[in-house]
Amino acid sequence: MKDLTLETLLAVFEEIFGRGLFWGMVVAALIITTAYIYVLIRDRALGMRQFVVAQMFMPIGAIGAIWFVMAMTESHLRDIGGPIDLIIFLGIGAMGAVGAAILVYVAHAMLFRQKKPAE
């Protein structure tokens, strides 16, 4: 594998997760991203209370993402062999943390919309 192309990455991810699960995750990510943009446009600001609540779920998202990928690849912590493995491990955790924060922020904003005081 000399060239890293989009087609190669798609094939690898489909092989790891399975075609249905992978594309389901892509669709879920697009829906959540669209909902996040909608909430930001609707509220015209980032709600600090919602943001703090969302940040509290970041460690759960990081651990969940790492656990999920390790379960799908049938690997363990003892399989981490070098610096690139650690970088990928930390990257998966970071993406899981950010994804969880966005998901919780959107859910909190949709369920508990705060009304602005009348001017």
Going by C-alpha positions, the residue among 110, 106, 101, 117 that lies closest to residue 54 is: 101
The CA distance from 33 to 13, in Å, is 20
Q: What percent of the chain has pLDDT over 70?
A: 94
Q: What are phi and psi of 58, to 5 degrees?
A: -60, -45
Q: What is the pLDDT of residues 64-86, one digit of tens each?
A: 999 999 998 888 888 888 888 88
**pLDDT at residue number 73:** 86
Q: How far apart are the first and last CA of the chain?
A: 62
Contact status, residue 31 vs residue 110, Cβ threshold 8 Å: no
| pTM (two decimals) | 0.81
What are the residue boundaries of the structural domains of the chain, listed by start?
Answer: 6-111
Distances (CA, A) of 34 to 18, 51, 54, 117: 24, 17, 17, 27
Whose structure tokens read 């966005």? Answer: 102
